[in-house]
Chain A
Amino acid sequence: KAGVTQTPRYLIKTRGQQVTLSCSPISGHRSVSWYQQTPGQGLQFLFEYFSETQRNKGNFPGRFSGRQFSNSRSEMNVSTLELGDSALYLCASSFAGSYNEQFFGPGTRLTVL
């Protein structure tokens, strides 16, 4: 069974630009959660999508948004990038939801210059 995939693996953007990250969950998993990981703040929850609906949201500004498609693939968008958005963005898929066993993808490393 294929694992969670994320594209792209690396991104370099400049301040003010926007970016879209993609996540394909494990086949059959309906839940996709997104996390931001930085050395200072650790792993922070962004949001969770379940069956195309946002089920939970973390404490991030509205510049961070996401969506989920009918095939459970999910995208995350960050608009008006700031230097502080530089981080590893991880998605995790789960069959039943983020409070069950989650499988993480390899992450997208975003650098904002």
Chain B
Amino acid sequence: QKEVEQNSGPLSVPEGAIASLNCTYSDRGSQSFFWYRQYSGKSPELIMFIYSNGDKEDGRFTAQLNKASQYVSLLIRDSQPSDSATYLCAGPKGSGGGADGLTFGKGTHLIIQP
């Protein structure tokens, strides 16, 4: 069973600072990863996905994938109170190139302090 692990937090970051969220995974062969954001009482929503080694930027969000070290990170620049949520990292569940579905980490609870 492939694992995706995250620190549950809470991670507290002052408003305007960079929030850094990390995720490690067990399977060296995993190719791509997803970051979902889940507000309390709501369902997850996809904010970023990354397929290749290196960085991917989208607005204030940057996803980083380091296959050699088997970690994925999400950076949130200029953090806003509205970024306060639980962030879920997801990777491939099986070895079928992703066709086996996703396995999720338990999420990191992020708090942006005004």
Point out the residues of chain B lying under 8 angstroms from A43, CB to CB: 44, 88, 104, 106-107
Number of interface residues of B (CB under 8 A): 23
In chain B, residues 59-91, which have Cβ atoms closer than 8 Å to a Cβ of chain A?
88
Point out the residues of chain A lying under 8 angstroms from B101, CB to CB: 33, 45, 48, 55-56, 58, 98-99
B16 lies within 8 A of chain A by Cβ = no
Most buried by A among B43, B45, B92, B106: B43
Nearest CB to that of A31 among chain B residues?
Answer: B101
- B102–A104 touching, CB < 8 Å: no
Known A56-B101, A104-B45; contact A45-B107, beta-carbon cutoff 8 A: no
Nearest CB to that of A55 among chain B residues?
Answer: B99
Query: Could you mark each residue 70-113 of chain A with 1 if its beta carbon is under 8 Å from any beta carbon of chain B, else 0?
Result: 00000000000000000000100000011101111111000000
- B43–A90 touching, CB < 8 Å: yes
In chain A, residues 34-63, which have Cβ atoms closer than 8 Å to a Cβ of chain B?
35, 41-45, 48, 55-56, 58-59
List of 7 A-B pairs having minimum Cβ-Cβ separation, nearest first = A99-B98, A42-B106, A104-B43, A43-B104, A98-B101, A56-B101, A45-B101
